[in-house]
A and B are shown apart, each in its own frame.
Chain A
Amino acid sequence: MSTMSWRILKVVALVLVLGGFYGLAVYKHAEREAIRQAPVVLTEACAEKLSRYGLAAGPVYRSPYMLQRTGLAPAMAGYSEEDVRAIQRGCNIIDDTQGRLASDKASERWNAPRFIRGTHASCNQCHQGVGDKQDADGNRLKGSLSLGASWVMADMYDRFTGLLLPFELRQMQCYINSSNGYKPNIADDLIRDVTAYTRFLSAALGLQIGTSYEEQGVDEIPASFTGKQGDDYIRGEALYKEKCQHCHGPQGHGVEVAGRLIGPAVAGPNAWNMQSRNYFYYVATILPGFICRNMPLGAENTLSNQDCRDIAYFISNLPRPAGDKQGPLVALQQQALMRIMPPLLRWSEAVMERTAQPAPQAPVAAR
C-alpha cells in the first residue's frame, strides 16, 4: 500500500509540476497578447518615416511616396489595426534594436537584446535610414542594404551554400553573424514584425516582387575594381585613423558617451563575428562595398575603391569574436586577443608618443 501511495504521489507531483509549467505558459502567452494589442510608442525616425509613407489602418493603402515620385498611387490591400501595430513595432526594432530608447525593452522590442551578444549591434547600423536610406531628394541609394528591396527578393538562393533561404532565415543570419548572437525562433514576433515592416516598405516604395534593385544588398567591390595594388594594411590603418577613428574609436571598439552610442564597434567584443560576410577573410568584397557607399556618414561615396578595401582589410585584422562554427578553441583565442590587445596597444602607443622626437619645426621657420 505504501509503494502504491508513493507511486500515486509521484504522479500527482508530476501533474502539479507540469500543470505549473502549463500555467506559466498560459500567463506568458497572455502577456505577449497584451503587448500585441497595446499601442506602440514610435521612435523619432520611425514616426517620421511611417507618417511620410502614410501608414494607417484602412481597407486600401495608397503610397504618398509613389504619388510624389510618379504621380500615380495604385490602390493596394490595406492594413488592419493589428497590422499597423506590427509594422510600427518592426520599425522600432530596426531603428533601435537594443531598446536604448524604449522605456521597457522586453515588451517594446520583443526581447531583441536576448539574441545579440554585446551592446552595440542594431539593424539600423547596416540598414541605414531605418532600412530605407534616401538622399535629400528622396532617391534611394545604390548599395544601401534597403530592406524594402530585400523583401521583394524574399526567398533567395544563398550564393555561398546554394540553400534556398526564406526571408526569416535571412534575418536569422543577421542575428547569428552580424550581431554575433543567437537565432530567435522562426515563429517569434521579433521576426514576424520585422518582416511586416519590410513588406510595408516595399509596398510604400512601389517595388515589384522578384525584381533586383540596385539599393538591395551591398555594392560589392572586388579587387578588380581597384588599381590592383593589393590590399594595404598600413594604408588602411592610416585611413582608419583619419576617417573612422573619430566615431568608431582607436581600436574599433566603438565610442559610447554617457550611455549614448556615438559609433558602433567594428572590432572587439561588440562587433560582428568571423563567420559574418562582413569579415574580409570570409568574403572580401562586401565590407569594402558597404564602406564606399555608406561611410563616413554624411560624406558617402567620397572614398575610392582602393581606400575602402584597405580600410576593410585593416578592420578585419583587428580581433573580433569567433563564429559559432569555428569551435571553442578559436573562440577562446579571439576572446583572449580582444582583451589583451587593446591595453597592449594603448601602452605601446603611449610609449611611442613619449619617446617620439619633437618635430623639427624651428629650422623650417628660420629658413
Chain B
Amino acid sequence: MSSLAAIERQRQAFVRDWPQTSGNLLVGLTLALVTLPQAVAFSVTLAGVPPHFGIYAAIWGVLFCAMLNPSRVFHGGPNTAMSATIGVTLLPVAPPFGAEYMGYALTLCLLCGLIQMMFYVIRPLGRMLDLVSEPVINGMICGIGLFLIFKSLTTFGGLPVNTEVEWPLWIAWQSLLAVLEIGNLHAIQIGLVTLVTCFAVQQVPRMRNWAILVGIAAGTLYSQYIEANLGTQVSLIEKIGNLSSIGFVLPSIPLFSQEAMPDIIAILPGAVTLALLGLFQTVAAMRRMNRKAGGYTDSRKAIFSDATSNCLLPFLSSMPTCASFNRMWLVHRLGGHSRLAIVSSAIWLLVLVLFLAQVIAVIPMPAMAAVIMLLGANMINWEDIKPHFKDRREAIVFTVSFLSVLFLDLFGAVIVGSVLAVAYAKWEQAHPNISLAGNVLKIRGNLYYGSLPVIEAMYHRAIANEGSVVIDFSECFYIDQEGIRWLRAAKEAQRAALADRRRNDERRGFERRAAVDGTRRSGRRRGKKDRRIRSEF
C-alpha cells in the first residue's frame, strides 16, 4: 500500500513538473539538431576524420560531461578550434581519413585527456586557467560569434568550404564575394527562408524555443519543393546525407605501436595545445555561463570531467570534447537550465541517428548554415559587452581579445588577452597610492618588488627634504620579502620610523609575516583573517 502511495506521489510530481520537463526535452532536441551538422562539419572539414567521430563526440562526449560536471549549463561535444587543431597537427603525419590517421587522432585525444588530467592533479596548474578574465572571455565569445557567421558563409551559399589555414577575415571577405558571384542561388534561397523563419518565430514569446526547429523544417520543406520542381541535377543542394551506418557504439583503440612512437612524439606539442585549448574554453565558458545563469561550479570539477571524458572517448571512436560557447549560449537563451536538457540532447541525437537517419538525411546544409549564423549573431550581445566599455582598461582587453580571435586564433586570443589583463593588474599594483604629509609617508596598496621603485623615489625625496621620515603602512595589503628587506634596511639606516595604526587583532597576521623574513610560509599556515585580506586583490 505504501509503495503504491509512493508511486502515486511520484506520478503526481511527474505530472506537476511535466511542463518544465517537456521544456527541457525540447531544448535537448533543438540542441541535438544544432549539434548534428556541427559534428559532421567539424570532423570532416576541420579534423579530417569520418563524420562518426564528431557524432560520437556529440553523443558520448556530451553524456560523459553531463554526468561528471555538476554545472547546469555545461554542454560538451565537438568544438571548432579543437577539431581544427587535430587537422593541423596530424596533416604532416598521415593522410586524412586513413586508418593510420584515425589511429593518431585517437592517440592525440588520449594524450590530450592525460595532459588535462595533469591540470587536475597539480592544483596550481589548474589555478592558472582562472587568469582568463571576463573581458577576455566576452571578447572571445564575440569573436567566435563573428567567426561562426564567416565560417558558415560558403555552406550558406552552397559552395565548397575553403579549409586552408589563411587569414580568417580575408577568407570571410572572399567567401562573401564568392557567395554573391558564384553561389548556388537555390541554396541561398533555402538559407534565407530558414533565417527569416527562425527570426520571425523567435519574436513570438510563446514559440521562442521552437524557433530553430521551425526554421529548419521550413528550410527543409522549401528545399524539397525546389527539388520536386527542378530535380536534384539542377538544384544541386547539399544535404546532411545518410548517417544510418552509424550504430550505437563503435569501440576503438588509440594507436600506440612501436613504429608509431616517433610520430606520437612529434604530435605531443599538438596534444598540449589541444589540452590547453579545451581547458581554457571549458573553464571560461563555464564560468561565464554559470554567472549568467546565477550558479557556481568549481572549475576543478570541469577540468576533471573534461579530462576523464577525453581519456575515455578515444576508446569510443570519438573526437575530444570541451565546452561549446555557442551551444551553451543556446541552452541559456532557450532557458534550459537543467542537466536534463543536456543529457536529453545526447540521447535525442542517438535516437535521431539510430532511427531517423533517413529523415535527417534530407535536411539541407544551407539551412544548417543559416541556423549556425543565427547562433553566431546571438552570441554578440550588446548587453554583455556594454559594461566593458565603461572602463578604459577593460575596453582595451576586450577589444584586443576580440580582434585576436579574428586575426590570430582562439589560442592566441586567450594568451594575448590574459597577458594583457595580468599586465594591467600588475601595473595597477605597481603604482600604490602614496602620499607625503609632513614627514609621514603613507602607502596604500602593495609593497613588493614592482612597487618599490615608486615608493623609494618618494622616500628619498622626503629624506632629502625632511631629514627623516615615518613610513605608515597601515593600509598595505601585502608586503613581499624584498619589501621587508627594504623596510628593515630603511629602519637600520636610522632615517625612518615604521608606523602601523591598525588594531592589534587586525594586524596580527600581518606583523607575524613581517617579523619572520627569509622563511616562506605557505598560505595554509597563515591566519584566516590574513587570507581574507589578501584575497581582496
Contacts of A115 in B (CB 8 A): 174
- B166 & A32 in contact (Cβ 8 Å cutoff): no
Residue interface bits B177-193, CB-to-A below 8 A is 1, else 0: 11111110100110010
**In contact, A11 and B199 (Cβ under 8 angstroms):** yes
Residues A29 and B164 in contact, CB atoms below 8 Å apart: no
Q: Chain A binding site: helix, strand, loop or mixed by DSSP?
A: helix
A15 touches B159 (CB 8 A): no
Distance between Cα atoms of A163 and B166 in the complex (Å): 19
For residue B177, which residues in chain A have a CB less than 8 angstroms away from its CB?
A: 114
- Alpha-carbon distance A18/B185, docked complex (angstroms): 13
Judged by a CB distance under 8 angstroms, whether A229 is at the interface is no
Stretch of B87-95, B299-307, B382-390, B490-498 that contacts chain A: B87-95
Residue on B nearest A181 in the bound complex, by CB: B166
Assign chain A's interface to a size class.
35 or more
Within the complex, which residue of B92, B96, B159, B199 is in contact with A185, where a contact is CB–CB below 8 Å? Answer: B159
Task: Tell whether B171 is near chain A: CB-to-CB under 8 Å.
Answer: yes
Cα of A347 to Cα of B88 in the assembled complex, Å: 42
* Residue count of chain B within 8 Å CB distance of chain A: 36
Q: B182 and A32: CB pair below 8 A?
A: yes
Q: Is the CB–CB distance between A24 and B91 below 8 Å? A: no
Could you mark each residue 392-428 of chain B with 1 if its beta carbon is under 8 Å from any beta carbon of chain A, else 0?
0000000000000001100000000000000000000
CB distance from A100 to the nearest CB of B (A): 22
Q: A7-B203, A176-B166 are in contact. Are A22 and B182 (CB under 8 A)?
A: no
Is residue B240 contacting chain A, with contact meaning CB distance below 8 A?
A: no
Q: In the complex where A11-B199, A22-B192, A161-B91 touch, is A189 in contact with B182 (Cβ < 8 A)?
A: yes
CB pair B96–A25 under 8 Å, yes or no, is: no
B162: Cβ under 8 A from any A Cβ: yes
B170 at interface, CB cutoff 8 A: yes
Let me know if B446 is at the binding interface, CB within 8 A. no
Residues A25 and B203 in contact in the complex (CB < 8 Å), given A182-B166, A185-B159: no
Asked whether, in the complex, the Cβ of B196 is within 8 Å of the Cβ of A14, the reply is yes
Say whether A25 contacts B185, CB under 8 Å: yes
Chain A residues lying within 8 Å of B95, measured Cβ to Cβ, are: 161-164
| Chain B contact surface mostly | helix
Question: Is B200 in contact with chain A by the CB < 8 A criterion?
Answer: yes
* Residue of chain A at shortest CB distance from B412: A328
B96 proximity list for chain A (CB < 8 A) = 163
A69 in the interface (beta carbon within 8 A): no
A67 close to B (CB within 8 Å):
no
Structural contact, A188 and B188, CB atoms closer than 8 A:
no
Which of A10, A114, A176, A187 is close to B164, meaning CB atoms less than 8 Å apart? A176
**A73 → chain B closest CB, angstroms:** 34
Do B166 and A183 have beta carbons less than 8 Å apart? yes
Residue on A with the closest CB to B193? A18
Across the interface, do B91 and A18 meet the contact criterion of CB distance under 8 Å? Answer: no
How far apart sit A185 and B199, CA to CA, in the bound complex (Å)? 29
Closest chain A residue to B183 by CB distance? A25
Quick check: B196 and A11 within 8 Å, CB to CB? yes
The reply to whether the CB of A325 lies closer than 8 angstroms to some CB of chain B is yes
Q: What chain A residues lie within 8 Å of B407 (beta carbons)? A: 328
CB neighbors of A among B138-177 (8 A)? 154, 159-160, 162, 164-167, 170-171, 174-175, 177
- The 8 tightest CB contacts between A and B, nearest first, are A162-B95, A7-B203, A185-B178, A28-B180, A186-B160, A28-B181, A11-B200, A25-B180
User: Interface residues, chain B, CB within 8 Å of chain A?
Assistant: 88, 91-92, 94-96, 154, 159-160, 162, 164-167, 170-171, 174-175, 177-183, 185, 188-189, 192, 195-196, 199-200, 203, 407-408
Query: Which A residues contact B (CB, under 8 angstroms)?
Result: 7-8, 10-11, 14-15, 18, 21-22, 24-26, 28-29, 31-32, 114-115, 161-164, 172, 176, 182-189, 324-325, 328
22 chain-A/chain-B pairs, Cβ below 8 angstroms = A8-B203, A11-B200, A11-B203, A14-B199, A18-B195, A25-B185, A32-B181, A32-B182, A161-B92, A162-B94, A162-B95, A163-B96, A176-B164, A182-B166, A182-B171, A183-B162, A185-B162, A185-B174, A185-B175, A187-B160, A187-B178, A188-B182
